Chains A and B, each alone.
Chain A
């Protein structure tokens, strides 16, 4: 206080000293009250007051900032205590020094509240509190304005307890003896400047705000998750991947364009006839099923019926008629060729034409399946009659056909046009007479397809399919041995032999037999074009069929319109067996399951089955198959089923089942295993041949 007034006159004007003094005093007395006089003096008194011994600092030094940091470090704690370490033998500084500073300690003890001592203490405290209160009430009335410290806290409780204090004192005295009084529960409040004040914040008015969006469109979706649905999805995925791979491989811009064009065309076409194309497979199956229902008994017979009567008939068998195949379009044509498909054992091909020289019309090629007897699977028609056909062994969709006009053609079953895929023509070396037989050969060295044809014009021609064209090579020209007749002009005519049938050897590739119209059979080789290996004087009339035995490599068979069937050994010039069938023989065929069984059909409508192992001289089955008027033209054995198909000249094909007697296998002797296989068959036939040969030699 004193130095302030002394320093003031140096810096401030005169007035200041008085006001300052007043100001300080006023500050002392002031506790919230306002003095309204002398605003000038108030303004001035706000100037800073310096104590006389204040440090004088320059401005820069004043502005210098001193940072004060509050840390938990004890300023009195030592910072570098060092201890002797016996382990290392040196003094080492201790990393961490205890920063704990104890300001005040008091040692005390705890007594449980409920114990005797605890209760006694509590009681004593109560007593003291009660007497103190009564003392306060009396002394406080006169002590209002003495202390500096606000006595509000004390006055309040003091005033509050004014009235009840007296009562409390009484109470205390009353309750002394009974129980220690519970002190009034008081809020634990700040002793210095606690004031209880409540306030309420402004509550904003609540407002609802809503917004509604349009619900997204919903559809119901249901599906099943099965094992097969999952499998399908995987398969689709795989296909897609493969497709993309293929596309990557075959990437050329031109190809892409053409592909797109093709795609567009396809889609426009498909959209028109979308519905029913997809049904083709189902429709096919359905047709077969309907047929099966209609011809149910036949189907059952085909599969399961075996003539039980054969047990009692010693050496004779029967043929059970099964399905009949006929088509309106081929009604007046004769069956000119029959061939089973080597791969699909229920499919067979039928060629239609005419044997009548005068009545030549169109021809047809139909393929039937045993599963559907009412309608052919494939149908082709041609201008000229079909005389012969053959199905390729390795490519069962290729059918070679020979026509009456001398042309040959190849039909591709995969492309069901009515037109053949390849055809010969007059330019490309067709025959000048009807082609009587065609046969596929093995592919030549360039992997080209190759087949042979024989015709009445005396040529045996080898046709090769080179780059989509048929190229022909004359293999042999058949000549008639004998005198050449001289015509007056001096020309020499070489009569040409007419080939009517041929067959290739099963094992010896180049060797084949040709039957001619004169009744001779020539054994020829593919390599010799002018000379024959051998000649057999076989028949008196034209040879209709020659056929090698499927098992025995030396034996072949021939049939002719001279009513006979002859079996030969190609090393011997005379036939081994001769059979007279009382009628012109149309066709003869070996059975595929036995070397001694064969079938022959005649023009009087009968089918003859022979089994040389059972009966060397007679047929074991002679059965009229068609009506008397119909002449049977061809016969073929099925490769696995025990049925034969027979074609007649009215365009009908009849299938017949062979009874067990006709299919006899050699009986096994007790203890011996049944030997099956070609060797057995060959041996069987050999035995027979030897018998015959012996007989001949004897004679």
Chain B
């Protein structure tokens, strides 16, 4: 348990990371370092997107599965790591 906590702490304190959040299978945020409204927005939208991406990958080959999703935009990068029951979302500003 503490390993995961530590890992999350490290991720949060890493260079360029704006925020992290953990979302459960229904799209409800469980843990977040951002403010409420932003969190809810991110959680809802990314949950749908992840479901869609997962569905796409699996439709093509059911033995395959989604491991990671990265959305790079002008301002920052959103990374989503899906798990069986949870989603881990990290927003980072990659230093360029």
Contact A285 B68 (CB under 8 A): yes
Indicate with 1 or 0, residue by residue over B53-96, a CB within 8 angstroms of chain A CB atoms.
00100110011000110100000010101111111101010111
Contact A294 B95 (CB under 8 A): yes
Answer yes or no: B5 CB below 8 A from chain A CBs: yes
Answer yes or no: B35 CB below 8 A from chain A CBs: no
Q: How far is the CB of B89 from chain A (nearest CB, A)?
A: 9
Answer yes or no: A279 CB below 8 A from chain B CBs: yes
**Given A282-B82, A290-B79, A293-B77; A276-B1 close (CB under 8 Å):** yes
Closest B residue, CB atoms, query A296: B94
**Given A227-B59, A277-B1, A280-B4; A289-B79 close (CB under 8 Å):** yes
Contact A294 B14 (CB under 8 A): yes
Answer yes or no: B44 CB below 8 A from chain A CBs: no
Task: Name 30 interchain pairs, CB-CB below 8 A, sorted by A.
Answer: A224-B55, A227-B58, A227-B59, A228-B55, A228-B58, A228-B59, A231-B62, A231-B63, A275-B22, A276-B1, A276-B4, A276-B8, A277-B1, A278-B85, A279-B8, A279-B88, A280-B7, A281-B83, A282-B82, A283-B11, A285-B67, A289-B81, A290-B16, A290-B17, A290-B92, A293-B16, A293-B92, A294-B15, A294-B16, A374-B10
Residues of A within 8 A of B (CB): 224, 226-228, 230-232, 273, 275-287, 289-291, 293-294, 296, 374-375
Q: How far is the CB of B82 from chain A (nearest CB, A)?
A: 7
Task: Report chain B residues within 8 Å CB of A374.
Answer: 10, 14
Task: Report chain A residues within 8 Å CB of B62.
Answer: 227-228, 230-232
Answer yes or no: B30 CB below 8 A from chain A CBs: yes
Task: Report chain A residues within 8 Å CB of B3.
Answer: 280
Task: Report chain B residues within 8 Å CB of A224.
Answer: 55
Contact A283 B17 (CB under 8 A): no
Tell which of B3, B4, B15, B92 has the most Cβ of chain A within 10 Å.
B4
Task: Report chain B residues within 8 Å CB of A276.
Answer: 1, 4-5, 8, 22
Contact A283 B63 (CB under 8 A): no
Task: Report chain A residues within 8 Å CB of B85.
Answer: 278
Q: How far is the CB of B10 from chain A (nearest CB, A)?
A: 6
Task: Report chain B residues within 8 Å CB of A291.
Answer: 14
Partner of B10, one of A277, A287, A289: A287
**Given A226-B55, A226-B58; A279-B4 close (CB under 8 Å):** yes
Closest A residue, CB atoms, query B22: A279
Complex: how many Å from CA A289 to CA B91?
11
Complex: how many Å from CA A232 to CA B4?
28
Complex: how many Å from CA A296 to CA B93?
12
10 residue pairs, one from A and one from B, having the closest CB atoms? A228-B58, A231-B62, A282-B81, A228-B62, A293-B94, A282-B83, A273-B1, A283-B7, A282-B88, A276-B4
Contact A289 B70 (CB under 8 A): yes
Q: How far is the CB of B76 from chain A (nearest CB, A)?
A: 10
Task: Report chain A residues within 8 Å CB of B87.
Answer: 282
Q: How far is the CB of B79 from chain A (nearest CB, A)?
A: 5
Contact A375 B16 (CB under 8 A): no
Closest A residue, CB atoms, query B86: A279
Complex: how many Å from CA A516 to CA B17?
52
